[in-house]
Structure formats: structure tokens, C-alpha cells
């Protein structure tokens, strides 16, 4: 399970649990949130997208050929990176085709 939380919500959590036994835990969570980019904002490699979405490499290749958003990277541009939000939107829009 993955949880994404914005900084304002994290601050609200800190205020809610301040001076309680959970204060230390909440502080650690906030610190982690401030240092890590949520998966939905990272560019995912083909293997990582395969893992996150539970689809095969071959399916990803077919979807890219059909227009799924991606960014070409690397010296030859043959490596792809995917923004999860864009992929999810594309899949929602194209679900009837696949």
C-alpha cells in the first residue's frame, strides 16, 4: 500500500498529535515525506512501471506504440521513463481499447 501526503496535511498531522506518544513517529514520517518524492511524481523505468502496474514489458511496449505518454532517455533515446499520473490517465481514457 502506498500513501501520498502533501506538506500541509503532514503539518496538520504534526499539530494533531503534538505532545502525544505519537509525536516522535509523526515527526519521522514528516521528515521522510520532506526528503522523498512520491512515486506518482517520479519518472518510472519500464521495469518499475511493470512492477507498479502489474503489466508485462510486452504490454508496456504495445501501449507506448499505441500512444501511452513516455519520455525517451539515454544516449540513444531507447530507454523510456513514465510519469505514473500520465500513464493512469492514458489507461483510463483508453480502457475500452485494451
Helix (H, G, I), strand (E, B) or coil at 70: coil
Return the DSSP state at 1: -
pLDDT value of residue 91: 96
- Claim to verify: residue 45 and residue 78 sit in the same structural domain: yes
- pLDDT-derived band at 23, boundaries 50, 70, 90: low
| Residue 32 lies in domain | 7-36
Whether 61 contacts 79, CB under 8 Å: no
Model confidence band, residue 16 (pLDDT cutoffs 50, 70, 90): confident
pLDDT surpasses 90 at 49:
yes
Q: Specify the CATH number for the domain of residue 69.
A: 1.10.10
pTM for the full model?
0.57
Are 58 and 87 part of one and the same domain?
A: yes
Q: Examine the domain organization and report whether 32 and 45 are in the same domain.
A: no
All three cell numbers of 32, joined, read 521522510
pLDDT of residue 21: 60
Residues 25 and 53 in one domain: no
Same domain, 57 and 27: no
Number of domains making up the chain: 2
How many Cα atoms occupy the beta-carbon half-sphere of 57 within 13 Å?
A: 6
Question: How many whole angstroms separate alpha carbon 17 and alpha carbon 25?
Answer: 9
For residue 77, is it within any domain?
Answer: yes
Amino acid at each position: 500500500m502506498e500513501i501520498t501526503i502533501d506538506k500541509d496535511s503532514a503539518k496538520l498531522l504534526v499539530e494533531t498529535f503534538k505532545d502525544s506518544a505519537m509525536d516522535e513517529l509523526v515527526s519521522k514520517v514528516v521528515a521522510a515525506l520532506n526528503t522523498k518524492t512520491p512515486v506518482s511524481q517520479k519518472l518510472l523505468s519500464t521495469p518499475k512501471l511493470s512492477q507498479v502496474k502489474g503489466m508485462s514489458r510486452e504490454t508496456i511496449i504495445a501501449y507506448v506504440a499505441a500512444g501511452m505518454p513516455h519520455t525517451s532517455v539515454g544516449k540513444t533515446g531507447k530507454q523510456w521513463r513514465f510519469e505514473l499520473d500520465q500513464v493512469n490517465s492514458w489507461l483510463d481514457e483508453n480502457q475500452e481499447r485494451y
